[in-house]
Amino acid sequence: MASGSYSTEFGGGLWRGHGDYMRDKNDKIKAQLDQRYAGDMKSNIFQGVIARIDGHTELNDFEIKRLITQHGGQMEQYDVRMFPSEKRVTHLVADNLAMGNQRWRHYRDKPTSKFVVVKSSWVAESVAAGRRLREADFKPDILHHQGQGSLKGFLQLPKAQPQPQPPPVVKDNPPGGAAGGGVEEDGSARIEIDDDAAPPVPPPPAAAAAAGAGAGAGAGAAGASRAVKPRPSRGRLDATDPGFVDNFFKSSRLHFIGTFRNRVKAKYTFDAFVPVPPPSQLSLLSMSTARRTILYLHVDFDAFFTSVALRRHPEFRNEPVAIAHGSARPNSSSEISSCNYIARQRGVTKGSFMSSALEKCPELKVLPYYFDDFESTSEVLFEHLMQLSRRIQPLSCDEAVVQLVGDDECADVQQKAKQLRDSVHSKTECWVSIGIGDSPLIARVAASYAKPDKGSSGVVLVEPKQSKDFMATVPLKAIPGIGPVMLEKLQSLGCNTCEDVRRQRTETDLVTTLGKVMGSRVWAAAHGIDNRQIGSTEASGAGTGAQKSISVAVNWGVRLSTDTDLDKFLASIAADASKRLEERGFLTQAVTFKLMQRHPEAPVEPPKFLGHGMCNELTKRHVLPESTASAHRIQMALRTIWDDEFAKKCPIHEIRGLTAMLGKLKRKTSPAPAPAPAPAPAPAAARGGGGGRGPPMLTDLQEGFLRNTRRKVNMQQGSKGAHIGGPRDVESIDLAAEEDAECAPAVPPSAFSPRVSVAAGATAGGSGGAACAQPSVPPARRYHHLVDVYVKQGSSALRFQTAAEEAIMGCETLDDIRRDMPYDDDVWRAVLSLAKRLGRS
């Protein structure tokens, strides 16, 4: 039993917090194991081993615990990271690990010496051998596939070059990294690097040698830099600069992509896709639709950004060209966001660093972003698609899926696609690739085969009867939803193509390995079946009911030093989030704060200039008392999470990125009819309670609240997220009630707004009580009333504290508080009394 616990027996129930409870529970389980096997010790081969089961094991848990305990080892039931003072686990036992968990991927790529991971057979075979066998021989198989299908293997560069970090817990987002055309889900947007303001960095040895050896071979990189007139630099900006968030979102490619769908839905009215049920579910009413031809067109621009930019620089059409922030300097850490097919043939890839691209292709021409041109070109595409069908699902600014329902033969649809392609090119000078199939999956894969580097004419048709044969040779990595981690799992089963899945595995195998949803989806895709009902929520204008959240993510340039820096940064994030809510007509009631903290093993400055590098991610959600679009309330929610959760875990200078995700969205409703005008407030001298002094203004309330109340109440409540009702909460509220009672006589009735002035006068013994619809509450009982209200609602003490803070800090005077408070009169009077008391402190 842990020392200092309030419990003398494990059923006592009085612990100081969750940590005490878990410590006692862990000790209880270890004591039970020791007691059960104390008289049956057989050897000491596991002496010094502290093991914990952390994944699926072939040997059952009971047997593992018995063998380790009987042979001199110890078992930990729970993650001892919750108990920093305890001995650390030395061995984690698991036969199969969930590689979707970032800590296992990090362990695979960069093993730690703090513990080892072994299969359960290590325990059994060590006991059988009578000695402790070598752990490295019992490493789970999935940890041996280092680099196979992973980003680390894909992005590995020669050591002499600046290169991306090894696969970290969280990595810098490569441009266009989102699946399905680089769309940022849920309206989020991220900042990209522009390292024109980067300080001079000595070139890497390889680059310096190449420059020296090839000085006479043409001013490769230098020629590329001079080929295009450099853009004016925005200066040396980071997160502490005013306007940082706004300026960089304006120049962010991913922000442009992430918000494009909202703009296009606001401009056009799309129809929902006709659902296509599986054959076994066809009804008599749906048979007529099933007999009609339903085909999908996947339309995608070829090297979109590069093609559009080349309209301004036709002299480079036959040259390798890339799009990036910054200029073509050998020491640049800018990332290539797009490149033409000539550059791809020279080894340049999207997402690679500029220094690496120039080494592979010294004559590379780098062009800037032309966002207005991108917008106008995208509009041309969607105008043409609307003439073809109104059943459109925009995927990005350069990509869309179209559903055609009719009696046309496949050949007729193919001809329409060719006409569409020619028409778009005549208007934009840019080519599109079009795939046609009887499902969105088939159409998407067909579009990839229609690309210029595949030697296609630009349109690939897969007739319905050919779908299964077409998918046979398709690599599994081409199926939507299969990323590096899932691909590794499939490769461990010996599957690289859809045909491998058909021949070697059953659906049960895939469900066991990938889970029910993805296992069934991959199995169906391998057989040419796509049962996803896409486009069903994309109907009628600006994303009706489809959007679940709005995010603002800044993961570049974040270097903060002081609490003031953090406040300014949070204010900028909140202002941008509020603007997005207003533009889309939403209110939010949930704010999720995601913080990127520099990993302890990561360098202070990563290779990417002002990038976030390898990070740990902290996440916390805060529910607001009511829906809002207020920047102030969003900022206060973020600040509350920082103060209560993150400040004790992450020093400010360790912050490398921040995301504010707004959830529980709802549409704004039409404003209610304005109520009858209230009587004019009393003059300032009358409201001030004597001496002509008016009520305290925002500055006094804000300073008093932050200085005296917030930290005190949080400390008194102990566990800040606990529901009201525990002994510590009651003690805290009783204390607040006493303070309120002492200060209440100092609150003159004239300080209240007219409606409350009557109630307050009645409380003080004055007349006019009949004029108020709701009876007043004596000062000493106001906080107890709050307890009753919030306990019935299942709310927490922290929720009320935050609600009161938002109400007080969002208003300039006490009259403003009364007018804007969303609570009933009793709750409001308690909040107003608190505000009055704080203003006088």
| DSSP H helical ranges for 253-348 | 253-267, 284-291, 304-309, 341-345
pLDDT value of position 646: 93
Task: DSSP for 786-835, please give it.
Answer: HHHHHHHTT-BHHHHHHHHHHHHHT-SSHHHHHHH--S-HHHHHHHHHHH
pLDDT in tens, 484-536: 888 888 888 888 999 998 887 888 888 888 888 888 888 888 888 887 666 64
Most confident of 73-87, 283-297, 318-332, 731-745: 318-332
pLDDT 10s digits, 712-726: 444 444 433 333 334
For residues 834 and 181, which has the higher predicted lDDT (pLDDT)? 834
Q: How far apart are CA 683 and CA 691, in angstroms?
A: 13
Q: How many whole angstroms separate alpha carbon 389 and alpha carbon 402?
A: 7
CA distances from 237 to 32, 327, 611 (A): 60, 17, 13
pLDDT at site 806: 55
Residue 65 placed within a domain = yes
The single residue listed with the structure tokens 């400055």 is 605
- Are 412 and 437 in contact by the 8 Å Cβ rule? The answer is no
Beta carbons of 340 and 367 less than 8 angstroms apart? no
Cβ-contact 560, 654 below 8 angstroms: no
* Residue type at position 172: D
In sequence order, what are the residues at sequence separation of 6 or more whose Cβ sits closer than 8 angstroms to the Cβ of residue 472? 497, 498, 499, 502
Each residue's pLDDT tens digit, 408-446? 788 889 999 999 999 999 999 999 999 999 889 999 999
**Overall average pLDDT of the 638-661 stretch:** 92
- Residues 263 and 269: beta-carbon distance below 8 Å: no
- pLDDT, average across residues 334-351: 88
What is residue 689's predicted lDDT score, i.e. its pLDDT? Answer: 38
Say which residues have a Cβ less than 8 Å from residue 113's Cβ, sequence separation at least 6: none
pLDDT, residue 100, reads 63
- Return phi, psi of residue 261, to 5°: -60, -35
Is 218's pLDDT higher than 50? no
Residue 34 has pLDDT above 60, yes or no: yes
pTM of full prediction above 0.85 = no
Output the pLDDT for position 426. 94
Confidence of residue 812 (pLDDT cuts 50, 70, 90): low
> Residue 597: what pLDDT?
94
pLDDT at 483 over 50: yes
Question: Looking at the structure, do residues 695 and 830 belong to the same domain, yes or no?
Answer: yes
Closest CA to 117 of 89, 94, 88: 94
Is 98 inside any structural domain? yes
Domain boundary among 122, 144, 166: 144
- The verdict on 693 and 625 lying in the same domain is no
Residue 611 confidence (pLDDT): 81
Token representation of residue 65: 């615990």
For 199-228, what is the mean pLDDT? 38
Same domain, 709 and 832: yes
Q: For residue 205, what pLDDT is reported?
A: 37
| Mean pLDDT calculated for residue range 234-246 | 60
Number of domains making up the chain: 3
pLDDT(19) > 90: no
Q: Which helix (H) or strand (E) holds 145?
A: none
Higher pLDDT, 202 or 821: 821
The residues pairing with 432 across neighbouring beta strands, listed in sequence order, are 301
Beta strands in 315-431 (DSSP E): 321-323, 338-339, 365-367, 392-396, 399-406
Question: Percent of the chain beyond pLDDT 70?
Answer: 55
Interval 677-690 mean pLDDT: 41
∠ Cα 278 284 289 (to 5°): 60
The better pLDDT of the pair 803, 161 is held by 803
pLDDT of 357-387, one tens digit each? Answer: 888 999 999 998 888 888 899 999 999 999 9
- Does 702 fall in a domain? yes
Provide mean pLDDT across the span 758-774: 35
Interhelix angle for 727-743 vs 825-840, to 10°?
A: 70
Q: Are 305 and 337 in contact (CB under 8 A)?
A: yes
In this predicted structure, which of 62-66, 104-108, 507-511, 550-554 has the lowest mean pLDDT? 104-108
Q: Is residue 650 part of a domain?
A: yes
Q: What is the pLDDT of residue 805?
A: 54
**With the CA atoms of 823, 824, 830 and 833 taken in that order, what torsion angle do they form, in degrees rounded to the nearest 10?**
80
Return the percentage of the chain with pLDDT > 90, whole number. Answer: 20
In three-state secondary structure terms, 553 is: strand
**Average pLDDT across the chain, whole number:** 69
pLDDT over threshold 60, residue 625: yes
* Cα separation, 493 vs 756, whole angstroms: 72
Query: Of 108, 129, 144, which one is at a domain's C-terminal end?
Result: 144
CB atoms within 10 A of CB 775: 11
Q: Which domain holds residue 750?
A: 684-840
Q: Is 594 left (phi over 0), alpha (psi -120 to 50) or beta?
A: beta
Number of H helices, E strands in the chain: 33, 17
Query: Residue 659 has what pLDDT?
Result: 93
- CA–CA dist 390, 83 (Å, integer): 59
Whether residue 501 contacts residue 523, with contact meaning beta carbons closer than 8 Å, is answered with yes
Per-residue pLDDT band for 465 (boundaries 50, 70, 90) equals: confident
Q: What angle do CA 284, 288, 290 make, to 5 degrees?
A: 95
Residues 649 and 693 in one domain: no
* 54 plus 130 within the same structural domain: yes
622 plus 749 within the same structural domain: no
Q: Is the separation of the CB atoms in 471 and 497 below 8 Å?
A: no
Question: Do 641 and 752 lie in a common domain?
Answer: no
Has residue 534 been placed in a domain?
Answer: no
- pLDDT at 128 (0 to 100): 86
Mean pLDDT of 281-306: 69
Asked if 32 and 99 sit in the same domain, the reply is yes
Model confidence at 248, pLDDT cuts 50, 70, 90, reads low
User: Residue 561: exposed, middle, or buried by beta-carbon count in 10 A (0-12, 13-18, 19+)?
Assistant: exposed
- Per-residue model confidence (pLDDT) at position 14: 54
Same domain for 692 and 750? yes
105 domain residue, yes or no: yes
Give the highest mean pLDDT range of 115-124, 319-328, 600-609. Answer: 115-124
- pLDDT value of position 803: 55
pLDDT value for 26:
67
Question: pLDDT for 54-69, tens place per residue?
Answer: 877 888 878 888 888 8
CA angle 539, 541, 547 (to 5 degrees): 75
What does the block give as tokens for 192? 């990209």
754-763 vs 825-840: helix crossing angle, rounded to 10: 80
pLDDT band at 670 (very low <50, low <70, confident <90, very high): low
Check residue 217 and report its DSSP letter.
Answer: S
Q: Which of 354, 366, 363, 361 is nearest to 162 (CA)?
A: 354
pLDDT higher for 102 or 566?
566
Domain shared by 700 and 827, yes or no? yes
Residue 740's H or E segment, with its range, is helix 727-743
Q: Return the CATH number at 136.
A: 3.40.50.10190
- Do 650 and 702 belong to one domain? no
Give the pLDDT score at 699: 38
Residue 140 is encoded by which pair of tokens? 């789970």
pLDDT at 654: 92
The amino acid at 294:
I
Positive or negative CA dihedral for 135, 138, 139, 145? positive
Tens of pLDDT along 134-173?
A: 888 888 877 764 443 333 333 333 333 343 433 333 333 3
Indicate whether 232 pLDDT > 50: no
pLDDT of residue 829: 58
Q: Rounded distance, CA 201 to CA 282, Å?
A: 65
Q: Which amino acid is at 348?
A: V
Residue with tokens 């769309």: 183
More confident position, 138 or 608: 138
Q: Which of the listed residues 105, 127, 144 is the one where a domain comes to its end?
A: 144
Helix (H) / strand (E) element for 90: namely none
Q: What angle do CA 803, 709, 789 make, to 5 degrees?
A: 40
Mean pLDDT to the nearest integer, 738-744: 40
Structure tokens of 98?
């969930």
Q: Is residue 395 part of a domain?
A: no
Assess if residue 8 is contained within a domain.
no
Pair 733, 811 in one domain: yes
Report the alpha-carbon distance of residue 237 to residue 572 in Å, rounded.
14
User: CA–CA separation, 349 vs 356, rounded Å?
Assistant: 10
pLDDT recorded at residue 807: 53
- CATH number reported for the structural domain that contains residue 616 in this entry: 3.30.1490.100
Dihedral of CA 568/631/797/665: which sign? negative
